[in-house]
Structure 1
Amino acid sequence: MDQSIVFSVFLIFTGAAVLATAALYARQSMLVAYILLGMLIGPSALGLVNDVELLRDLSHVGIVFLLFLLGLNLHPQDLWRLLGKATFVTLGSSLLFALLGGITATLFGYNLVDSLVIGAALMFSSTIIGLKLLPSTVLHHQHTGEIIISVLLLQDLIAILIMLVLHGMAGASAGWEHATLVTLALPAVLIFAFAFSRYVLTRLLARFDTIQEYIFLLAIGWCLGMAELAQALGLSAEIGAFIAGIAVATEPISRFIAERLKPLRDFFLVVFFFSLGAGLEFSAMQTVLPAAIVLALISLVLKPPVFKLLWVRQGETAATSAEVGARLGQISEFSLLIAVLATQHAVISMQASYLIQLATLITFIVSSYFIVLRYPTPMAVSDRLRRD
């Protein structure tokens, strides 16, 4: 049956509010609730929301805002500060888990390209879980948070590079002329973004920085405008939005913009995670379940001790390193994004995409519960952990 977008949004957000309440009582990340809701009322189950393609189009806007905000938070001074201990830890752990994920996928019969993308998906830890479950009231946790953020930011940069590679692979399959255009477009978009930001945006922001509504509109226009420009030149909208964020990151007002756009980003991201769950087919999930369990175990069991070992080697205490490892012991929402983009560009099979999505969902559920059970979080299971 045909449905209005209003009715679909009503079902999504009312259902999300109900399941998010249950998720919080169960000490789970709310994005788990959004994915499970999509699986429950999507086409594969109850079929209450059946226009998944329309929802995917809406959720794409959320990904654009997500990458714009990621670029806004990549301040140059922060990047220079991270080029040290975190670089060694991030690169070392990323290479190890990419190798383990790729080998595992190969053993389960996936082809080379599928295995490479599956391995790449295993490299990353969840920014949402890592930061949302981190208290910020005690000095120890502030230091732990700085360590976790340093790893997550560098992982996000690696994810952006992988997205560029995936887009380049899709361009190469479309012809060398297109691939050449994409190669030339990237530096052109970078130059334009930084020049326009410096000579136009900076002056507009300085002139009207007291009018918050104007700053909000200007930020949205800049983000979506750069996304469209990048797409017109053969790049992806996500890359354009990321570049738009980086170009403004040096401005003092960038943190204000980031805070103002978070609610808008969160609205579209709820739709993204819902559509992700709605797009999963139960029969396909059963097919990839054994491999998904193995990948999830690799992340849940091996990531904590690996991060602990690497951070101890960098001079951190064993207790802090162990906590960092536990908080980074899952697969990332960026892995979900890579899976979706790789499928859209016909780089990997649908089965490989389902494998990444299911393994990620398993680690979200198990890791969230383990962190809340063992470490201080905003929704800790005991008063002692809330006070720690």
Structure 2
Amino acid sequence: MDAQSLTFSFFLIFSGAAVLATIALYTRQPLIIAYIVLGGLLGPSGFELVNDLSLLEDIAHIGIIFLLFLLGLDMQPSALIATLKKSTPVAIASSIAFFASSAFLASLFGFELTEAAVIGAAMMFSSTIIGIKLLPTTVLHHRHIGEMMIGLLLLQDIIAIMVLIALNAIGGSAEEGQLASAILRPTLGLPLLIGACYACVRWLVLPLLARFDRFQEYLFLMAIGWCLGVAELSSAIGLSAEIGAFVAGVTVATSPISQFIAISLKPLRDFFLVLFFFSVGARLEIAALPDVMGAVLVLSAGVLLFKPLVYRILLGSVSEKKSLAWNMGFRLGQASEFSLLIGYVALAQGLLSVEGAVVIQAVSILTLLVSSYIVILNFPTPIAISDELRRD
């Protein structure tokens, strides 16, 4: 794609996003809805004004890399140790329940065992973006619900990364017939990558940041360079770039400067959030929806109804109050950005059909939208429609 068409695509995306975001704010709708709708309108299934799928894939890829890097920067183990004891059994039990129920429903609609398993795996996770974005800042930083949600979401992110490693290993082995080697390489590569990153941060990155911390643009460039450098290294040793970005963030998270880096990168994160959700809407194969609409509706209903109930039961079993358990259950009652990523990876590795990928995409988008409305209409959020529920 040449510079002119790239510029024109960005003009359409951000100008259109500004227009639809304005309408969304006037009507008190979640902004992500505007971005997803815009993608559907301008993408290949709409007016075809932005129809370069390779560009859309690169946009989604870069966006996920930076999102995972920022998530890693916010991962402060010392602040989460107290909640991990409760979060771990809830995260594991809920993941098993969501996997089994979703895979079973998918099999009822004729998907083969492998595809049903991939769909089940994609439905295990809740949206970090929705969960954190719709949680008031005061609740996020000073109340128990914020700590519990971060603990659960981080554990889910770790499980999702393990799933991505497995998909990359199994998919790669399908061509070469070397399953053991394909699994062993990333399994050994991940701890080596983590160790190398910690050593590099301690002996190189942090000393450089400490010496030149007066130059904010230098900190900004170092953060981006570190993120993308580790992402590329991760990809080179058989892992994914997304996993590398997450590791890059975690290894810097214990540094006092990590929060400054996170704050300085927030505009970049928001930039890619727009592109990410635009690409979500643009990549949805609307023409293939009628063939899988039954599966999409049933799975979406299952996610929206079953997830809050499961979280209510599991959180209640670890002594959480009923009101808090329901609150968290509905805030986490949707599919995830990782669901989309798992669908993309599985499709690329030949483990999922186009119909299966459309099911994952459609269920993810539908549950993200409906769940956002449920939270905005019933729980305190920064963008609640009711003045009584609006909390910054």
TM-score, normalised on structure 1?
0.93
Amino acid at match of 2:327: E
Partner amino acid, structure 1, of 2:150: I
1:46 is displaced (CA, Å) by 0.8
Q: CA deviation at 1:31?
A: 2.2
Match in the other structure for 2:301: 297
Distance in 1 of aligned mates of 2:154 and 2:293: 30
What is the deviation of 1:140? 11
Amino acid at match of 1:152: L
Q: Which residue of 2 aligns with 1:157?
A: 158
> How far 1:127 sits from its partner (Å)?
1.5
SS of 1:382 mapped into structure 2: coil
1:216 aligns with 2:217: no
2:29 and 2:159 map into 1 onto residues whose CA distance is 27
Shift of 1:142: 2.6
Seen in structure 2, the aligned counterparts of structure 1 residues 287 and 334 have a Cα distance that, compared at 3 Å, is same
Question: Distance between the aligned counterparts of 1:183 and 1:377, measured in 2?
Answer: 40
Cα distance, 1:136–1:221 mapped onto 2, change above 3 Å: closer
1:281-325 Cα distance to aligned partner (Å, 9 max, x none): 222112121111111111111211221122122112211211111
CA contact (8 A) 2:381 2:391 kept: no
Alpha-carbon separation, structure 2, partners of 1:269 and 1:231? 22
Matched, 1:225 2:229: yes
- Name the SS of the counterpart of 1:83 in structure 2: helix
Kindly provide the amino acid, as one letter, of the partner of residue 327 in structure 1. Answer: R
Q: Deviation at 1:100?
A: 0.4
RMSD: 2.2
Q: What's the counterpart of residue 117 of structure 1?
A: 118
**CA offsets, 1:239-296, max 9 Å, x none?**
2112211221221111111121122122223222222322222221121211111111
**CA distance in 1 between partners of 2:264 and 2:11 (Å):** 24
Q: Which of the numbers 356, 371, 382 marks the counterpart of 1:352?
A: 356
1:200 corresponds to: 204
Task: Name the counterpart of 1:330.
Answer: 334
- Give the CA deviation at 1:144: 2.1
Unpaired runs of 5+ in structure 2?
none
Match of 2:284 in 1: 280
Instruction: State the secondary structure of the residue aligned to 1:36.
Output: helix
1:90 aligns with 2:91: yes
Which of 262, 269, 288 is 1:265 aligned to?
269
Counterpart CA distance in 2 for 1:179 and 1:143 is: 38
- The aligned residue for residue 6 of structure 2 is 5
Whether the 8 Å CA contact 1:336–1:360 is kept in 2: the answer is yes
For residue 137 of structure 2, give the secondary structure of its aligned residue in structure 1. coil
Helix, strand or coil at the partner of 2:143: helix
User: Are the counterparts in 1 of residues 170 and 182 from structure 2 also a CA contact under 8 Å?
Assistant: no
What is the one-letter code of the residue matched to 1:67?
Answer: L
Give the AA of the match of 2:312: K
Instruction: Identify which of 374, 383, 386 aligns with 1:382.
Output: 386
Tell me whether 1:366 sits opposite 2:370 in the alignment. yes
Q: Is the 8 A contact 2:83 2:148 kept in 1?
A: no
Relative distance call for 1:243 and 1:344 in structure 2 (3 A) is: same
Task: Kindly provide the amino acid, as one letter, of the partner of residue 53 in structure 1.
Answer: S
Q: Which amino acid aligns with 2:349?
A: H
CA contact (8 A) 1:171 1:179 kept: no
Report how far residue 179 of structure 1 moved: 5.0
> Structure 1's 117 and 150: CA in aligned 2 closer, same or farther, altered over 3 A?
same
Partner of 1:238: 242
Is residue 291 of structure 2 the alignment partner of residue 306 of structure 1?
A: no
What amino acid does structure 2 have at the position aligned with 1:119?
G
Aligned residues: 388
Relative distance call for 1:88 and 1:178 in structure 2 (3 A) is: closer
What pairs with 1:61-140 in structure 2 (closer than 5 Å)? Answer: 61-137=62-138
TM-score (norm: length of structure 2): 0.92
Q: Could you say which residue in structure 2 is the equivalent of 1:256?
A: 260
The answer to whether the aligner puts 1:40 opposite 2:27 as a matched pair is no
> Displacement of 1:171 after TM fit?
2.6
> What is the deviation of 1:160?
1.2
CA 1:183 to 1:379, structure 2 compared with 1: closer, same or farther past 3 Å?
closer
State how far apart, in whole Å, the 2-side matches of 1:139 and 1:353 are. Answer: 33
Out of 329, 344, 347, the residue aligned to residue 343 of structure 1 is 347
Contact 2:33–2:369, Cα closer than 8 Å, also in 1? yes
Segment of structure 1 superposing worse, 303-312 or 355-364: 303-312
